[in-house]
A and B are shown apart, each in its own frame.
Chain A
Amino acid sequence: MSEQPMIEVAALSKTFGENTVLRSVDLKVARGEVVALIGPSGSGKSTLLRCLNLLVVPDGGRVRVGELSFAFGSSARLPGTQALAKFRAATGMVFQQFNLFPHMTVLANVMEGPLTVRRMARPAAETLARSLLAKVGLSDKAEQYPSRLSGGQKQRVAIARALAMEPAVMLFDEATSALDPELVGEVLGVMQALAAEGMTMVIVTHEIAFAREVADRVVFLRDGVILEDGPARQVIDSPREAATQAFLSHFHRQREA
């Protein structure tokens, strides 16, 4: 590939107290690529994702998204609040627990980033927000408060809120894990549509079938190390590593049960 990757992570490491969560992880994501991070809980996949927008500050290594790059380590100075904010504005994140702002209407939730961070004029922000709500199929909920929505609707609003920053990259942190099974589909549908539009996406997920279907690549982590990284269908249908096989077989059993 001649073009420089959209996301580049090199030698990333992170320790929480005694617990080493990431051990010198390298990862590249091309523009428009969809990468699914899978692995057992505690494997470091969520921490890796949170390092991509620096909600978790790595102890060492480099993180680059688009043009903005940061180095971490004992010699590197920690980025200042303004630099961090600018960096995060270029990535959208969707959380497992939605984290909608309960004191604002759905429309205000989606307008908040454009108004406060991008300093957009209110009418332009509202137009943008309404078009994004239409995109996730929630135009009729614009004036509601989040507490009145189902989990699936909340998560779709959260996706619209992240998209309102017009980010270069979207990060999904177990976006469907807190949902009732019958509501998972509507959220995955929105994510699939985004992927089809060419959005660069990194997805931490337990939805193996979805990862196989939508992701270009699947990355398997265990104990803070990338053990397998390859085309989605190949990794899921015929994993090379024994650890990946063990993880996926457990998953298949769970599915059939």
Chain B
Amino acid sequence: MYQWDFAVVWSYRWLFVNGLGVTLAFTLAIVVLGLLAGLVSGLARLSSFAPLRWLSQGYVEVFRCTPVLVQLVWFYYALPMLAGIEMTATTAGILALSLYGGAFYSEIVRGGIASIETGQSEAALALGMTPAQSMRRIVLPQALKRMVPPLMNQSIIQLKNTSLVSVLAVPDLLYQGQAAAHDSYRPLEIYTVVAVIYFVVLFPLTLLVNRLERRLARAD
């Protein structure tokens, strides 16, 4: 019978705190940049200019149909050789995960906008708005409301995906956990605590998404 000893974990508390800080900062960066990429790509997907649509679809499919771990490794090892630029692990990680998330955000944005009845943009155009004004004033505000729960779900997945950057030696929560595990010879306790920390951060967020979904369902 294994003898659990969580006392040892306490001495590594600052490693966990630092690691969690890096994980959260990473998440913030890739969610913000990913949303930006997703919004641009999602709007491009609905453009009347066909090459923009193809470009957007190509981007989405490339990032949806390759494993995110492969993308991370490719951005860190292959892209610098191709482009001839040095890239830190953090830069490569942020780039790969933002673009990966952006591909999924893009589909959410496209779907959200497409779900708004065509009568809404027709009414806006009939008032004399340009298509851009109609999008900004009438369609997007309504679509964003519907997009919030799926965007939050995807962002939760993004937070979990940050654990993959540990393979590039970015000192996130999992990487620090690995360091502590090697140092203490107590992987069971350490990795259990790492998992619990992820859960404690994410569980309230999923509850929030559930509540938002229920509220939106009532509002419709």
Contact = CB atoms under 8 A, between A and B. Distances in A.
B127 interface: yes
Determine chain B's interface SS by DSSP, over half rule: helix
Contacts of B120: 99, 101
Contacts of B131: 81
B122 A55 contact: yes
Interface in A94-135: 95, 97, 99-103, 112-113, 116-117
A89 interface: yes
Nearest to B133: A116
Interface string B180-204: 0000000000000000000000000
Interface in B27-58: none
A86 B123 contact: no
B127 A95 contact: no
B142 interface: yes
Given A99-B122, A101-B120, A85 B129 contact: yes
Contact of A162 (B124, B126, B129): B126
Contacts of A97: 117, 119
A82 B130 contact: yes
Interface residues of B, number: 20
B142 A113 contact: no
Interface in B2-34: none
B128 interface: yes
A106 B128 CA distance: 19
Nearest to A91: B126
A187 interface: no
Interface string B90-119: 000000000000000000000000000101
Given A103-B142, A112-B137, A116-B133, A88 B125 contact: yes
B8 to A, nearest CB: 55
Sorting the interface of chain A by its residue count into under 10, 10 to 19, 20 to 34 or 35 or more gives 20 to 34
Nearest to B145: A103
B123 A53 contact: no
B80 interface: no
B68 interface: no
Contact of A117 (B117, B123, B129): B129
A135 to B, nearest CB: 18
Contacts of B130: 81-82, 85
A85 B141 contact: no
A97 B129 CA distance: 19
Given A101-B120, A116-B137, A161 B127 contact: yes
Interface of A: 53, 55, 81-82, 84-86, 88-93, 95, 97, 99-103, 112-113, 116-117, 158, 161-162, 165
16 contacts: A55-B122, A85-B125, A85-B129, A89-B127, A99-B119, A99-B122, A99-B123, A101-B142, A103-B141, A103-B142, A112-B137, A112-B138, A116-B127, A116-B137, A117-B129, A161-B127
Given A53-B126, A99-B123, A113-B128, 18 more contacts: A55-B122, A84-B125, A88-B126, A88-B128, A95-B122, A97-B119, A99-B122, A101-B120, A101-B124, A101-B138, A101-B142, A102-B142, A113-B127, A116-B137, A117-B127, A117-B128, A117-B133, A162-B126
Interface of B: 117, 119-120, 122-133, 137-138, 141-142, 145
